[in-house]
Structure 1
Amino acid sequence: MTLILNTWIFEADVQKGVKQADLVDRVAKLGADGIEVRREYFKDLNSELPEVSKRAAENNLIVNYSVPDVLFEDDGSLNPKLADYFKEGQTLGLEKIKFNIGHFDKFTGDLKSAFDGLPLDEIELNVENDQTQVSGTVIAIKTFLDAAHEAGLTSLGYVYDLGNWAFTGGDAEKAAEQLAPYTHYIHLKNTTRENGKLGTPDDLDTGIFDWRHLISILPNDQYYALEYPMADDKKISEQIQLFKNEVGA
């Protein structure tokens, strides 16, 4: 079992000006195996990316990268920024980089050649179910990954984001069953529904999803990440222990 902490956990501190590089030591002290940094949280990529990499190496931590952008633009063309994102990933010393799919439904080119030049043998590319109908449905994800693997892009994988299924109205259990073969990474957060509004609680056991049952459907040898804001290290430690008690770590 490999447990990653996504820096959304520390959102309150980030909003106060804490840099993600300064969170690396904290993640290590909390007993996680790695940190997933979010591109939108960086203020100065040139200085912060190398610092994250340095501190992660010192703490023997895995680094993953969440990029809030799409693989395919509105017209179906491949996002021209991908090469830059992968260069950032190389600076970080990444294992995994994550995107949303975007408009693969409008892509008309040769899929394998479109990804030529990206260091897919060095950094694992994954797509996530986001909160949109374009990229956040089983059909959209499976259609893209089926095509990618048929084109020889067999290293491409999927991030199962539990909480996001509530926002797209998807069936989290059926999604787990259908997308399990492609699942390389599991993002855990629950979702509350109150007065018709959805929210993200600070506790895996609070919400509409039976996360224990759902992870039993998914591969148990992939990375897990906790990805929901928490108030302090005491709460984070409690949630880490809750998770580890269930997976037998």
Structure 2
Amino acid sequence: MKVSINTAVFLDEMNAGHSQYDVLQQLIGKPIDNVEVRGEFFKDESREAELDKISDLAVKNGWGLYYSIPETLFNDGELNSNLDHYIAMAKKYGIRNLKISLGDYGALTSDSLKLINEIPTNDVTISVENEPNAHGEVPRIFNFLDSIDGHLGYTFDSGNWYWIDQDPQAAMDQLQSFITIFHLKNIKDQDTTMLDDGDTDWQKLTNKVPHRVPVFLEYNIPTAQQLDSEIAKVNQLLQSTGD
């Protein structure tokens, strides 16, 4: 198993106007397993055409393709009405997983649990992510995941805990068994850093991730040399643990 890459590592370049298809070219030949693109960096008028090219690029390079939806699964207790659209999009372009923030799910009634269990996940998995706000606190995430009996996955974002004054190591201990995707980053003073420069013992945290769960780098990495270094660090750890 090798590290995976979220296009957030190219944040500077995307903010300067480069497309996600453009920046993904830089990953060709690198020792990675998957790539995750971000919905907020597509232009509405060119999303489909760009996704088509990205899908082909992923197939040619043997990458699994993942997609981050910049929305929440629930809004004031109501299920996101755009979900069917995203699932259809994922099937069309060979996307393996759709990641979406959990949001405010309100009360988990029998009716709401029925709606969740009716979300189709045979062709594409869906994972919810802990947000850097009250909706992402450990008890709310745990309650939701424990109630849905594995129908949806869970993306553990190791950095978001710092915005709600919660310890990522403690959160990992409570949520470890639910994790299906791991977003790895390090934080200092509520800003992302290179892995060795933040407040998290990232190696200890990553070692607790369940076996074979993909580990994505998801933070701005300014230079190609730094990207190669971060990839090498994580791959060394994954290989040393037998993944």
In the superposition, relative to structure 1, how do residues 101 and 124 fare at CA in structure 2: closer, same or farther (>3 Å)? same
2:181 is paired with a residue whose SS is strand
2:89 is the alignment partner of 1:88: yes
Structure 1 stretches lacking a partner, 5+ long: none
1:199 maps to 191
TM-score by structure 1 length?
0.89
Match of 1:164, as an amino acid? N
Equivalent positions of 1:173-188 (< 5 A) are 173-188=169-184
TM-score by structure 2 length?
0.92
State the shift of 1:87 in Å.
Answer: 1.7
Query: Is the CA contact (8 Å cut-off) linking 2:101 and 2:129 kept in structure 1?
Result: yes
2:215 maps to 224
State the shift of 1:215 in Å.
Answer: 1.7
Distance in 2, matches of 1:46 and 1:94, equals: 13
Match of 2:166, as an amino acid? G
2:40 is paired with a residue whose SS is helix
In the superposition, relative to structure 1, how do residues 207 and 104 fare at CA in structure 2: closer, same or farther (>3 Å)? same
Figure out how many residues of one structure are paired with residues of the other and give that number.
238
Match of 2:174, as an amino acid? Q
2:52 maps to 50
1:148 maps to 148
Query: Is the CA contact (8 Å cut-off) linking 1:27 and 1:35 kept in structure 2?
Result: no
Structure 2 stretches lacking a partner, 5+ long: none
1:110 is paired with a residue whose SS is helix
Percent identity between matched residues is: 30
Query: Is the CA contact (8 Å cut-off) linking 1:2 and 1:222 kept in structure 2?
Result: no
1:64 maps to 66
Distance in 1, matches of 2:120 and 2:23, equals: 27
Query: Is the CA contact (8 Å cut-off) linking 1:126 and 1:156 kept in structure 2?
Result: yes
2:13 is the alignment partner of 1:13: yes
1:26 maps to 26
1:104 is paired with a residue whose SS is coil
- Where relative contact order (Cα < 8 A, 6+ residues apart) is larger, the structure is 2
2:119 is the alignment partner of 1:127: no
In the superposition, relative to structure 1, how do residues 116 and 213 fare at CA in structure 2: closer, same or farther (>3 Å)? closer
2:99 maps to 98
92-101 or 18-27, which moves further after superposition? Answer: 18-27
Distance in 1, matches of 2:204 and 2:137, equals: 20
Distance in 2, matches of 1:108 and 1:155, equals: 16
Distance in 1, matches of 2:158 and 2:117, equals: 31
Distance in 1, matches of 2:113 and 2:164, equals: 29
Equivalent positions of 1:109-128 (< 5 A) are 110-115=111-116, 118-128=119-129
State the shift of 1:25 in Å.
Answer: 3.0
Distance in 1, matches of 2:86 and 2:202, equals: 31
Distance in 2, matches of 1:87 and 1:12, equals: 30
Question: RMSD of the alignment, in Å?
Answer: 1.7
Match of 2:132, as an amino acid? Q
Distance in 1, matches of 2:137 and 2:155, equals: 13
1:86 is paired with a residue whose SS is helix
Distance in 2, matches of 1:155 and 1:25, equals: 34
Match of 1:62, as an amino acid? G
**Cα displacement string for residues 55-76 of structure 1 (whole angstroms, at most 9, x for unaligned residues):** 11111111111111111112x1
101-110 or 174-183, which moves further after superposition? Answer: 101-110
State the shift of 1:107 in Å.
Answer: 5.1
Distance in 1, matches of 2:204 and 2:11, equals: 28
1:131 is paired with a residue whose SS is coil
**Cα displacement string for residues 185-237 of structure 1 (whole angstroms, at most 9, x for unaligned residues):** 111110012xxxx2111x10111110111122221321000011111211100
